[in-house]
Structure 1
Amino acid sequence: MSQEKLGDGLGITFQQIQKYEKGTNRVGASRLQHIASILKVPVAFFFEDAPGSPDDAQGFAEEPRSYVVDFLSSSEGLSLNRAFVRISDPKVRRKIVDLVQALAADESPDI
């Protein structure tokens, strides 16, 4: 599929697709899901052969790509991602990540 056709399907220009491809612009979770839908592939397709190993996954109990797919498949994960990507201030985003990590640590059993 051409960049132009993909852009048309997403309602954006092929130049924007090029920026995603080059890594100039970040692809949000909902946009990634839309791209996967247009290309008729699962979201996990984009994470196949990604660098890193499960040991690099900082606390994930299972393979990262499986964890990401499971998370994005849940209504909570999708809602959280959609809201999070609309936050433009990187400091606020970092504080939200810190908050979620602190809440998760509070729920972990003491070892």
Structure 2
Amino acid sequence: MTHPVDVHVGKRIRQRRWMVGRTQQQLAETVGIKFQQIQKYETGMNRVSASRLWDIGAALDVPVAYFFEGMGQAEEAATSATGEVLPGDLLGDREALELVRSYYAIPENQRRRLFDLARVLSDAAA
């Protein structure tokens, strides 16, 4: 049976890996393990040891504490400004994660303009 902490840590590994644009194979090679082990970590099937989590954090350029952020919060549904119910694990959605990664790849001045445009469009749709 999987432990909720292992599942949370696994989700954070997957999210960060996606944010930096790395595959399971690439991460596994950097850490020195098989990609199947990364799969098991990401699903929470296998518990990540402290030393392995340290290596994964270094490979993904985040401190170990990153993997535990949000652990104390209940993963409840969030409500957007328009009252729409959003899933608690929004970044668990591949499309949302890809959108966030693409957004941050845009230069800052253009990103700000895109953000303003999105806000205007969402206000117009309401």
> Shorter-chain-normalised TM-score: which range?
0.3 to 0.5
Structure with higher RCO (Cα < 8 A, 6+ apart): 2
Taking structure 1 as the reference length, the TM-score comes to 0.43
Taking structure 2 as the reference length, the TM-score comes to 0.39
